[in-house]
Structure 1
Amino acid sequence: MHEMAICESLRDAMEDAAKAQNFSRVTRVRLAIGAFAGVEVEALRFGFDVVMRGSLAEGADLVVLEESGTAWCFDCNDTVPLARRLDPCPVCGGERLLPNSGTDMKIKDLEVM
């Protein structure tokens, strides 16, 4: 379950930010997760609660902002929206698609004290 490793990286990033920006507690974390990022949101929520125990983000709310994805269709030569990575092109039905957004995950913001 790589979601635990993601949570550990989040904790490390928050600790670094706390040192740089002089805060001692995180009460809310907003994460933007792309539709094609390969992250299981419920596993991430579970991992977040476990990994944040004893840290500056213990008890913090995790808000997940799910972002849609887009892909370049080689058949119709256009960028198209996709709900799921393996869906066909909604314009032409083609299956030769290259994702160009929705593959990343980033911290949007933190609510701190």
Structure 2
Amino acid sequence: MHEMSIATAVVDQVAEAARAAGATTVTSVRLLVGELAGVVPDSLAFCFELACAGTVLAGAELVPVPVPGRARCGPCAREWAVGMPPDLCCPLCGTAADELVSGRELQIAGVRWHDDPAQAPTCERIHEES
């Protein structure tokens, strides 16, 4: 189950960033999860909870942000949702996709943490997608 190694890597990166910022509690982690990333969301959530135990992320919520798979055709410049299983041939001209535009993402998009559990959480952006 590669979801455990993904969850562990996310927890390690967030814990390091939280430590560097002096945060004592992480309350949530937003994670971009591409449709084509090969990740089972329920398994990732389960593994994330296990990986958080005993860390500054204990009890943190994982907020997966789904990113649909999209491809682009070179000859006609059309962009389309590829779906699952992915349809990588242009629906307009039938040419194979030149580029996968989105859907492979697996990255931390944001983290909420705070220093004092009695205070309201403050937002700290680790990465923001445009």
Q: What is aligned with 2:26?
A: 26
TM-score, normalising length: structure 2: 0.75
CA RMSD of aligned residues (A): 2.0
Corresponding residue SS for 2:50: helix
Deviation readout 1:14-68 (Å, 9 max, x if unpaired): 1210122110111111111111111110110110111111111111111111011
Q: For 2:87 and 2:10, how far apart are their aligned partners in 1?
A: 30
Q: What is aligned with 2:5?
A: 5
Corresponding residue SS for 2:53: coil
1:101 Cα deviation after fit: 1.2
Unaligned runs of 5+ in 2: 115-130
Q: For 2:91 and 2:111, how far apart are their aligned partners in 1?
A: 38
Which amino acid counterpart does residue 84 of structure 1 have in structure 2? M
Which amino acid counterpart does residue 102 of structure 2 have in structure 1? S
Unaligned runs of 5+ in 1: none
Q: Does the CA-based 8 Å contact 2:90-2:96 persist in structure 1?
A: no
Q: Using CA pairs below 8 Å that are at least 6 residues apart, which structure has the higher relative contact order?
A: 1
Which amino acid counterpart does residue 112 of structure 1 have in structure 2? W
Q: What is aligned with 1:56?
A: 56
More strand by share: 1
Q: What is aligned with 2:78?
A: 78
TM-score, normalising length: structure 1: 0.86
Q: For 1:105 and 1:71, how far apart are their aligned partners in 2?
A: 17
Identity of aligned residues (%): 32
Does the C-alpha gap of structure 1 residues 96 and 5 become closer, same or farther in structure 2, counting only changes over 3 Å? same
Q: For 1:89 and 1:76, how far apart are their aligned partners in 2?
A: 12
Q: How many residues align?
A: 113
Q: Does the CA-based 8 Å contact 1:88-1:94 persist in structure 2?
A: no
Q: What is aligned with 1:38?
A: 38
Q: For 1:68 and 1:91, how far apart are their aligned partners in 2?
A: 17
Which amino acid counterpart does residue 3 of structure 1 have in structure 2? E
Q: What is aligned with 2:121?
A: none
